Structure 1
Amino acid sequence: MARQSGSGVAEKKKAAGAVSGTTLTRGQLVEFYRLMYLSRRTDDREIVLKRQQKIFFQISCAGHEALLVAAGMAMRPGYDWFFPYYRDRAICLALGNTVEDQFLQAVGAASDPASGGRQMPSHWSSPKLHIVSPSSSTATQCLHAVGCAEAGRYFAKHPEAAAKHDGEYRQFKDVVFHGDEVTYVSIGEGSTSQGEFWEALNTASNGKLPVLFVVEDNGYAISTPVEANTPGGNISHLVANFPNFHFAEIDGTDAIASYNAMVEAVGYCRAGKGPALVHGHVIRPYSHSLSDDERLYRTVAELEADALRDPISRLQMWLLREGILDAEAINRLERQVDEEVQRAADKAVMATLPTPDTILRHVYSENLTPMDRRFERQPEITADRNERTMADLINLCLKDEMRRDDRIVVFGEDVADATRDQPLREGKLKGKGGVFKLTSGLQLEFGNDRVWNSPLAEANIVGRAIGMAVRGLKPVVEIQFFDYIWPAMHQMRNEMAVLRWRSNDGFSCPLVMRVPIGGYLTGGSIYHSQSGESIFTHTPGVRIVMPSNALDALGLLRTAIRCDDPVLFLEHKRLYRETFGRAIYPGPDYTIPFGKANVVRPGKDITVVTYGAVVPRALQAAQKIHRDKGIDVELIDLRSLAPYDWETVTESVRKTSRVIIAHEDMMSWGYGAEIAARIADELFHDLDAPVRRVAAMDTFVAYQPLLEDVILPQSHDIYEAIADLAAF
């Protein structure tokens, strides 16, 4: 475990010869101007390359340079953490990103250190500098920054958790942490309309987290002016009442004012007083991107007024006026920058491009796959021989794993025993522990730092978990009902699933999302009975499992926690406390590899492939039809949906030559359609009958049980399908 501490920013910057009005020295001011000019000339060269069709997209930092170089010079690369957005070229240069690095991304080179040619230009990433790979989505990174700051604080309070852990499973490295690190996150003013921005402010404020929010306000969200985006036209007025915050609204084209504001804001965060928000009014002298033409919606007079506030011209004049540089020195500096930019561009356009054989690298972890044989463990014989429900064994697994690994944290809506926990610890309250009681007792045993209730905001849960996982924690979060997962969809699809791939394995977010799913509840209705797993199995980069019994639930959950990929762990609510599938506790190391189906019932006449709550219904149908008609059904429980066990399906279909895929979700575009299509494509000559599907009606689940029973597939539906297919 390595721990470092640092003095405050102001103390670091003070030196003999500091210029009046700032703690910056003359040399630092010259470097400030050089970085601003370097950023602008890099933009200009990219524009030329785009017009020459040597790169394929361009979006600039022009007009934002003073605010961003100020932030970079006030913070510490490789010490603090950074969640930038696409205008942040200048701060990345100030932190140590090179012009060549940025041009390599622009051309999509194999040696692009940010993404290996996978991301558009201006999507900065550097593990060494702690610049975390961003997406093109707006404001999603605000929650990641909050989660990262929470993880940094956790490691500072629990240094034992930062030490190296069980290398047999996760490839943990010691976490370097600091008691005073600050997390930077920036967005454009238009992005303040996004809910994730407000959710991030809410959590940062409540937790007094050391997060520096920077709002780069150039007056436009593409073509939408600020007054149409923000009530009153000023985001500072709207956020002013958040407690524990330091706020600053500044002219972001004034380099000195920007630097002074950033130093003060960073100092406030670093001292542990809470978060800060710096609202910088900047300009956008170029169009939104080269795909946009701002002359269609901005007047000449407006553009000329912006030009008078150009931050590069303003700092140049200030340096001349203060006698820090003369005209000759400025010209010499600018020539050197121009030559540096030209050399970097020339080198980048000659760089080797990525080859097609690299496309599938880093979709998932290649160091620790959950399909690995190391996860194939047999149950232990323990003194406890009592059969337990799925709910019981999930709870025991969470406790086992939290005892094993101090990096595991659990949060979500109502998952804690009691947020106001003093009566709980005095024995005056029993505690809640989740609406289904699966996290009962976790907070009482492991404390409020490891188990807590989130706000009622699903994107907040997943977004923060991503930031924590990036920083080294292992979040196991709960979405209370699958029916309410949709606010988190943006975070799941555009962030969680793609982070490893888009950063070319520079960053990853191995977390577990536990989600109660499904119907058969008698009264669950539309908003407590949904299935929709096929929407998520369509997304690369995330593992998805759905156990049908207690033993599988424990074994698969432990694998999910110990593996190195994000996992969507679907728990069928109807199965939580069913008599079917109870099991004896198999010990603290029992695991099941993903992608390995379970043959619940061997047979020779027909294959039924299913999962989740349809497993016991299919088993009932198989047993009955064997008694009634002598038809011998082989029943396969997939258990793991992404990946799934194609080899077991193939072997069974070749044996029986008839197959039914049954699932609870709707028939059309459901999970079974892909397996049916693949069987028809690859096993056509092994079939003696068409592939059949049994699934729910293409509608919603009704409240009235008479309707629910008809909408969802029942045992008799599977029975009839088996009989029909056997007679084909």
Structure 2
Amino acid sequence: MAEITFRQALNDTLREEMKRDENVFLLGEEIGTFEGSYKITAGLLKEFGPRRVVDTPIAENGFLGMAVGAAMLGLRPVVEIMTINFILMGIDEIINHAAKIHYMFGGQSAVPMVIRTPGGGGQQLSATHSQNLEVLFAHIPGLKVVAPSTPADAKGLLKASIRDDNPVLFLENLALYNTKGEVPSGDYTTPIGKAKVAKEGKDLTVISYSRMTSIAVDVAHRMEKENGLSIEVVDLRSLRPLDRETLVQSVQKTNRAIIFEEDWRSYGIGAEVAATLQEEAFDYLDAPIKRVASVEVPLPYSKPLELSALTGAKQLIEAVNELAPRRRRR
């Protein structure tokens, strides 16, 4: 398998899907001539032309509404929102229209659209450009929300999202774009709604998604090598629908759980995961569920302050040592 970046996996997938299906088209701010703020759409305007790679005005509500209408008429728009922080300008089109039209009209009209958008902190972009807002959309019936952590899943989940007949929010963490990984050749999809055990273990489960999964896997390998602690890492991949069965099965095996997420702790994705484990795996838990998340403040611009507010490997290691000290000393 070829080893490519997360960014290249997305670019390759958009090209392949546009070749496969002439109804797939792209729209967003500066995705054509400028090739996108993060170059995900590099080369696509030249290859497919302005009818299928549409540069839009700076008006998220306008072009998200355009995408909803296009999807209702049989096209498959893939919208790029420059950053998830800007998605708030089009929240009405997503929550009140894209998510509800299929149900409000008795299934007579589908809305097969994808909204791609990067988020996350650590880039010194300050409070209004560094948020993780996925929980707002994972709360909404009628939407699907996915968050890949590897180039292979970026490709597989984007293909699955484009081919899905429902609106899908496709989350990309800025810090993942330059990461590399093996990506299978040929046509394949990663199922939406199915978590992945990124690393097998028996002493403790760490549940995560997006960039935090790669950190969790690194920490798990390091702690296994240093002190023999066997940590299982579960990558959610899909936030809605949530694969509760895989989460419960992992905790039934390890009896301890840490939820590791970049967003704020209160009311977040981790809260839903914790509720699931309490409801469906309570009898298997040998210790309280721990949640590791970022400090609940608007993210500072100052680099030292930003790094101190974000969670990371240090905080996860501390949580592991607190939750499983006796297992660690074996």
Relative to the length of structure 2, the TM-score reads 0.96
> 1:662 touches 1:694 (CA, 8 Å); kept in 2?
yes
- Structure 1 Cα separation of the partners of residues 72 and 214 of structure 2: 39
- Structure 2 Cα separation of the partners of residues 402 and 621 of structure 1: 38
For 2:24, which of 404, 408, 422 is the aligned residue?
408
> 1:388 touches 1:585 (CA, 8 Å); kept in 2?
no
Runs of 4+ in structure 1 deviating by more than 3 angstroms, as ranges, are none
Deviation at 1:627, TM superposition (A): 2.5
For 2:116, which of 499, 507, 514 is the aligned residue?
514
- Structure 1 Cα separation of the partners of residues 224 and 17 of structure 2: 42
> 2:98 touches 2:167 (CA, 8 Å); kept in 1?
yes
> 2:81 touches 2:117 (CA, 8 Å); kept in 1?
yes
Cα distance per residue 1:240-287 (max 9 Å; x no partner): xxxxxxxxxxxxxxxxxxxxxxxxxxxxxxxxxxxxxxxxxxxxxxxx
1:452 aligns with 2:54: yes
5 Å-filtered alignment, 1:316-331, equals none
> 1:500 touches 1:506 (CA, 8 Å); kept in 2?
yes
Amino acid at match of 2:44: L
> 1:390 touches 1:553 (CA, 8 Å); kept in 2?
yes
Cα distance per residue 1:366-392 (max 9 Å; x no partner): xxxxxxxxxxxxxxxxxxx54110100
Which residue does the alignment assign to 1:465? 67
Greater Cα radius of gyration, structure 1 or 2? 1
- Structure 1 Cα separation of the partners of residues 323 and 193 of structure 2: 27
5 Å-filtered alignment, 1:205-604, equals 386-416=2-32, 418=33, 432-521=34-123, 523-579=124-180, 582-587=181-186, 589-604=187-202
> 1:393 touches 1:585 (CA, 8 Å); kept in 2?
no
- Structure 2 Cα separation of the partners of residues 535 and 446 of structure 1: 34
> 2:2 touches 2:185 (CA, 8 Å); kept in 1?
no
Deviation at 1:527, TM superposition (A): 2.5
5 Å-filtered alignment, 1:83-232, equals none
Cα distance per residue 1:282-329 (max 9 Å; x no partner): xxxxxxxxxxxxxxxxxxxxxxxxxxxxxxxxxxxxxxxxxxxxxxxx
Cα distance per residue 1:37-84 (max 9 Å; x no partner): xxxxxxxxxxxxxxxxxxxxxxxxxxxxxxxxxxxxxxxxxxxxxxxx
- Structure 2 Cα separation of the partners of residues 616 and 592 of structure 1: 18
- Structure 2 Cα separation of the partners of residues 591 and 506 of structure 1: 27
Identify, as 1 or 2, the structure richer in strand.
Answer: 2
1:718 aligns with 2:316: yes
- Structure 2 Cα separation of the partners of residues 669 and 643 of structure 1: 17
Deviation at 1:586, TM superposition (A): 2.0
3-state SS of the aligned residue for 1:693?
strand
Deviation at 1:468, TM superposition (A): 0.4
Amino acid at match of 1:563: D
Amino acid at match of 1:470: M
1:658 aligns with 2:274: no
Gaps (5+ residues) in structure 1? 1-384, 419-431
- Structure 2 Cα separation of the partners of residues 673 and 539 of structure 1: 16
- Structure 1 Cα separation of the partners of residues 227 and 214 of structure 2: 20
- Structure 2 Cα separation of the partners of residues 586 and 688 of structure 1: 43
Deviation at 1:524, TM superposition (A): 2.0
3-state SS of the aligned residue for 2:66?
helix
Which residue does the alignment assign to 1:195? none
> 2:13 touches 2:158 (CA, 8 Å); kept in 1?
yes
3-state SS of the aligned residue for 1:694?
strand
3-state SS of the aligned residue for 1:557?
helix
Deviation at 1:585, TM superposition (A): 4.8
Amino acid at match of 2:280: E
3-state SS of the aligned residue for 1:388?
strand
Deviation at 1:395, TM superposition (A): 0.4
Cα distance per residue 1:592-633 (max 9 Å; x no partner): 111111111100000000001101211222122222322110
Which residue does the alignment assign to 1:71? none
Cα distance per residue 1:633-673 (max 9 Å; x no partner): 00011111111211111111000000011110001111100
- Structure 1 Cα separation of the partners of residues 219 and 322 of structure 2: 13
5 Å-filtered alignment, 1:682-701, equals 682-701=280-299
- Structure 1 Cα separation of the partners of residues 308 and 5 of structure 2: 28
Deviation at 1:536, TM superposition (A): 0.6
5 Å-filtered alignment, 1:34-73, equals none
3-state SS of the aligned residue for 1:485?
helix
For 2:240, which of 617, 642, 650 is the aligned residue?
642
> 1:543 touches 1:643 (CA, 8 Å); kept in 2?
yes
Amino acid at match of 2:304: L
- Structure 1 Cα separation of the partners of residues 149 and 121 of structure 2: 14
User: Quick one: higher RCO (CA 8 Å, sep 6+), 1 or 2?
Assistant: 2
Identity of aligned residues (%): 40
3-state SS of the aligned residue for 1:664?
strand
Deviation at 1:480, TM superposition (A): 0.5
Gaps (5+ residues) in structure 2? none
In the alignment of these two chains, the number of paired residues is: 326
> 1:701 touches 1:711 (CA, 8 Å); kept in 2?
yes
Relative to the length of structure 1, the TM-score reads 0.44
Structure 1 vs Structure 2 CA RMSD: 1.2
> 2:209 touches 2:236 (CA, 8 Å); kept in 1?
yes
Deviation at 1:453, TM superposition (A): 0.6
- Structure 2 Cα separation of the partners of residues 534 and 629 of structure 1: 35
- Structure 2 Cα separation of the partners of residues 414 and 699 of structure 1: 31
- Structure 2 Cα separation of the partners of residues 551 and 601 of structure 1: 16
1:627 aligns with 2:243: no
- Structure 2 Cα separation of the partners of residues 473 and 651 of structure 1: 39
- Structure 2 Cα separation of the partners of residues 412 and 538 of structure 1: 25
3-state SS of the aligned residue for 1:387?
strand
> 1:604 touches 1:633 (CA, 8 Å); kept in 2?
yes
Cα distance per residue 1:339-388 (max 9 Å; x no partner): xxxxxxxxxxxxxxxxxxxxxxxxxxxxxxxxxxxxxxxxxxxxxx5411
- Structure 2 Cα separation of the partners of residues 687 and 473 of structure 1: 47
- Structure 2 Cα separation of the partners of residues 610 and 718 of structure 1: 11
- Structure 1 Cα separation of the partners of residues 290 and 262 of structure 2: 14
> 2:244 touches 2:276 (CA, 8 Å); kept in 1?
no
1:607 aligns with 2:200: no
Deviation at 1:528, TM superposition (A): 2.3
Amino acid at match of 1:697: V
- Structure 1 Cα separation of the partners of residues 246 and 127 of structure 2: 34
Deviation at 1:476, TM superposition (A): 0.6
3-state SS of the aligned residue for 1:662?
strand
Cα distance per residue 1:2-49 (max 9 Å; x no partner): xxxxxxxxxxxxxxxxxxxxxxxxxxxxxxxxxxxxxxxxxxxxxxxx
Deviation at 1:702, TM superposition (A): 1.3
Which residue does the alignment assign to 1:241? none
Which residue does the alignment assign to 1:290? none
- Structure 1 Cα separation of the partners of residues 24 and 136 of structure 2: 28
